[in-house]
Structure 1
Amino acid sequence: MSGAEVKRRIVVDTDTGIDDALALLYLAAQPDVEIVAVTSIYGNCVIDDSLRNIAYVLGLVGITDLPVARGAAKPLNAEPHIAHYVHGYDGLGDVVDIDDRPMPTGLVDQTAAELLVELARAQPGELELLTLGPLTNIALALQAEPELLTLFRSITIMGGSGPFPEVGQSDMFDANIQNDADAANLVFSAPATRRVMVGVNITSGVVTDEQDVVALHKSGTPTGVFAAAILETYLDFYRLAWGRRISPVHDGLAAALMVHPEWITASVTGPANITHDGFTTRARIMQTAEGRAVPWAIEPAPDTIAVTGVDTAAFVTAFIHSLIHGSPSHASQGGTTA
């Protein structure tokens, strides 16, 4: 990257489970990306583990002085649902010793919501926001600064389910929206410069498999070996979904599409509402799979762009390559390539 080029400056809000860790490693490997700050949230693990995992993952690529803020430990109006059964007790598949996961050295006194507001106000139009967990921190920040999402250059949300599916089909469970529907409603109804939904409608079909894990193991790099170890536990969980050892790249895909929007091959744009069918809460673009309006009154909301198609081959190749190399400065150091 030449000195004349401007880096994408990204703030990441994360519940630091397995796929969140891979997304952070992916971003750290991009020469045209600067991670400005990271805010923690409950979800894949409890809040203290989310913080420790941020420090551990960024430490693998030599990032130790980044501002990190403690976020909400539970939803706005409910108790948290922690996904230990997916991400292990610690959020990283229980493959890291607890003594290797101290709190971040860059932990600030502000809450996540306070830091988000401060950063957005201080650098309007310069920063982009990537959310990888429940939207509680963003909702709390919106309560303090209703124009928050217009101060960010964009917000990309790993969550939601896109438009309604084809008749007879269903979408994967969406834990990020399910965990705090009230927060999601605030975020999808707030004014925003650009709001992109990378939902389970698209992430569930973009997967890593056993061959990818083998390549990561063989790389011999710290990031590649770590990614392989945590992916092994993810594949073990998802084998009961499809009868094979594969896993969706939920958060990694959202991170990559923020950096490479050219990998988005199809999308729909419209207002998103929060729906609940008695079992599952979702954020939906209010149109059918054929693009028709739903036959009931919807809640008015500003537009959200929902991804419905992705250049999967380009993404997966670049994603595994990034996990192996870990950071731009490590790209020429040892190991094999994907």
Structure 2
Amino acid sequence: MGEAPARKKIIIDTDPGIDDALAIFVALNSPEIEVVGLTTIYGNVYTTLATRNALHLLEVAERSDIPVAEGSHVTITAIQLDPEFPRKIGQIVILGGAFSVNGNVNPAAEANIFGDPDAADIVFTSGSDILAVGINVTHQVVLTDEDLNQLAHSKAKFAQYVCKILGVYFSYHHEAYSMQGVYLHDPTALLAAVDPSLLTYTEGVVRVQTSGITRGLTLFDNCKKKYGELNEWLHKPKVKVAVTVAAPAVVRLVMDRLMQE
């Protein structure tokens, strides 16, 4: 028998966050990967609280051996501080963007990109191996009331914990989207890193609008047309953008790994 494939080492950049908590728990119960650290950033909450929440989740998981590094409290162009960064890492999986659909902060912008459009544009054009998982995909992945009921009947530690925090998330989705369920944004992006075959992708150039009414808009160029004049899209590196997802498989994996005792 051959040797088992090496576990993929990942760092989770997070602002927990309810579905961030689900993603972290799923990651810790994913044998394919090794979580070597968490980094924190502002978004759902301020950076200091994100750090506190991340440390708390690791305590719940009894994984306080995993280090947590606190990120910036303000907008920052991270990659500009270290131009070699794109060549130091394997891949960046981004939960962010709304490709050819409305955003969730406003009709133009998705929340993570809207939080720092300038930094997002730098990352998308950095030359790193990038996979963007936008809400055009994550809105297909829904945890239902029945799924929540199954979690509630599980004796697993993670299942019991998430049931305590999911109530407010379900209430928000009912109010904002008139739906009986919640979108699994972060867990979908996490599982894209674990098993890329769960999604399909297209490749092209992504730029981010950094000002005006469409600030935070992610625009995808499929690079199939050669334009006659110079523009700000030319000679930019291509990235992968998720276009479809095996939603039932993703939900099943999330459920199984949250209920793993």
The CA deviation string for residues 91-137 of structure 1, in whole angstroms up to 9 with x for no partner, is xxxxxxxxxxxxxxxxxxxxxxxxxxxxxxxxxxxxxxxxxxxxxxx
Q: Distance in 2 between matches of 1:284 and 1:15?
A: 24
> Are 1:38 and 1:68, in contact at CA under 8 Å, matched by a contact in 2?
yes
Q: Distance in 2 between matches of 1:61 and 1:27?
A: 11
1:101 paired residue number: none
**Would you say 1:312 and 2:244 are equivalent positions?**
no
Q: Distance in 1 between matches of 2:222 and 2:135?
A: 16
Q: Distance in 2 between matches of 1:55 and 1:204?
A: 28
**Would you say 1:230 and 2:162 are equivalent positions?**
no
**Would you say 1:151 and 2:112 are equivalent positions?**
no
**Would you say 1:200 and 2:132 are equivalent positions?**
no
> Are 1:16 and 1:50, in contact at CA under 8 Å, matched by a contact in 2?
yes
> Are 1:184 and 1:283, in contact at CA under 8 Å, matched by a contact in 2?
no
> Are 2:203 and 2:222, in contact at CA under 8 Å, matched by a contact in 1?
no
Deviation, structure 1 residue 182: 1.0
1:178 paired residue number: 114
Q: Distance in 2 between matches of 1:310 and 1:154?
A: 19
> Are 2:140 and 2:245, in contact at CA under 8 Å, matched by a contact in 1?
no
1:321 paired residue number: 256
The within-5 A match list for 1:55-70 is: 55-70=55-70
> Are 2:103 and 2:111, in contact at CA under 8 Å, matched by a contact in 1?
no
Deviation, structure 1 residue 227: 1.1
> Are 2:156 and 2:258, in contact at CA under 8 Å, matched by a contact in 1?
no
Identity of counterpart residues, as a percentage? 27
Query: RMSD of the alignment, in Å?
Result: 2.3
Moved over 6 A (4+): 291-296
Residues 294 and 314 of structure 1, relative CA distance in 2, 3 Å threshold? farther
Residues 238 and 146 of structure 1, relative CA distance in 2, 3 Å threshold? same
The within-5 A match list for 1:38-57 is: 38-57=38-57
Residues 191 and 240 of structure 1, relative CA distance in 2, 3 Å threshold? same
Q: Distance in 2 between matches of 1:188 and 1:316?
A: 28
TM-score relative to the length of structure 1: 0.70
Q: Distance in 1 between matches of 2:226 and 2:256?
A: 41
TM-score relative to the length of structure 2: 0.89
1:116 paired residue number: none
> Are 1:172 and 1:201, in contact at CA under 8 Å, matched by a contact in 2?
no
> Are 1:287 and 1:294, in contact at CA under 8 Å, matched by a contact in 2?
no
Q: Distance in 2 between matches of 1:292 and 1:54?
A: 45
- Partner secondary structure for residue 22 of structure 1: helix
- Partner secondary structure for residue 230 of structure 1: helix
The CA deviation string for residues 19-69 of structure 1, in whole angstroms up to 9 with x for no partner, is 111110010001121111111111111112111111111222211122211
The CA deviation string for residues 298-330 of structure 1, in whole angstroms up to 9 with x for no partner, is 4332111000101111110111111122xxxx4
Deviation, structure 1 residue 5: 2.7
The within-5 A match list for 1:249-288 is: 249-264=184-199, 266-275=200-209, 278-287=213-222
The CA deviation string for residues 221-252 of structure 1, in whole angstroms up to 9 with x for no partner, is 22101112222211100112332221111111
Query: Match of 2:72, as an amino acid?
Result: A
Q: Distance in 2 between matches of 1:236 and 1:294?
A: 47
- Partner secondary structure for residue 182 of structure 2: strand
> Are 2:8 and 2:34, in contact at CA under 8 Å, matched by a contact in 1?
yes
Q: Distance in 2 between matches of 1:277 and 1:251?
A: 28
2:14 paired residue number: 14
- Partner secondary structure for residue 219 of structure 1: coil
1:24 paired residue number: 24
Query: Match of 2:28, as an amino acid?
Result: A
Q: Distance in 1 between matches of 2:232 and 2:220?
A: 10
Residues 294 and 68 of structure 1, relative CA distance in 2, 3 Å threshold? farther
Query: Match of 2:116, as an amino acid?
Result: D
Q: Distance in 2 between matches of 1:277 and 1:50?
A: 29
Q: Distance in 1 between matches of 2:89 and 2:57?
A: 25
Aligned length: 253
Q: Distance in 2 between matches of 1:3 and 1:73?
A: 43
- Partner secondary structure for residue 208 of structure 2: strand
Deviation, structure 1 residue 191: 1.4
List gaps (5 residues or longer) in structure 2. Answer: none
